[in-house]
Chain A
């Protein structure tokens, strides 16, 4: 149980375009979803926390107008990278939890974004 999927797994886009990444909890209702960015062989950097039905809370230094997060239902959150630039190329990972998971987060497999 507690499976999280992400789509797409890999995306290549041109500079200036927008890209949407979906994160779904497949077998549970996620009250909270988190979005991370992972650099090669480095730590995960939390970008934002999203609670179903409310606005996402962004971490310091993360541009909310660039990284749009929507958590419209208990099983789906989306991250849209707007006007993408090559420096946005990264591995984006989502995770999900619910109050009954006692702070355990369940991670998606990640999405590799390459901006040309």
Chain B
């Protein structure tokens, strides 16, 4: 079974400071990792996924298979980054009833102060 751990429930930084949201996972196979974001009063939406290797809104995340981590980073946080962030995992190339099933971490509430 897979598991995703986000050790920080709350994270506060000041505007312009670097931010790193931690995510560790456990899964015996080859995972696909995602970061989803939920802004206040909005629905959950995809921020980025490791296979695309894109930088979205200045955020990046690198999959480190050795450390089983997928930390989310941004060099200069902005106030509009304040939101709940979820790390999620799905088995890649899974078939049958496991296809596309996401396992979410507990979430980290990021607050960026002015």
Contacts and interface: CB of A to CB of B under 8 A. Distances in A.
Contacts of B105: 43
Interface residues of A, number: 20
Interface in A22-66: 32, 34, 41-44, 46, 49, 57
Size band of the interface chain B makes with A: 20 to 34
Contacts of A103: 32, 34, 49, 90, 92, 100, 102
A90 to B, nearest CB: 15
Contact of A41 (B46, B97, B99, B109): B109
A107 interface: yes
B86 A44 contact: yes
Interface of A: 32, 34, 41-44, 46, 49, 57, 93, 95, 97, 102-105, 107-110
Interface of B: 9, 32, 34, 36, 42-46, 49, 51, 84, 86, 90, 92, 97, 99-107, 109
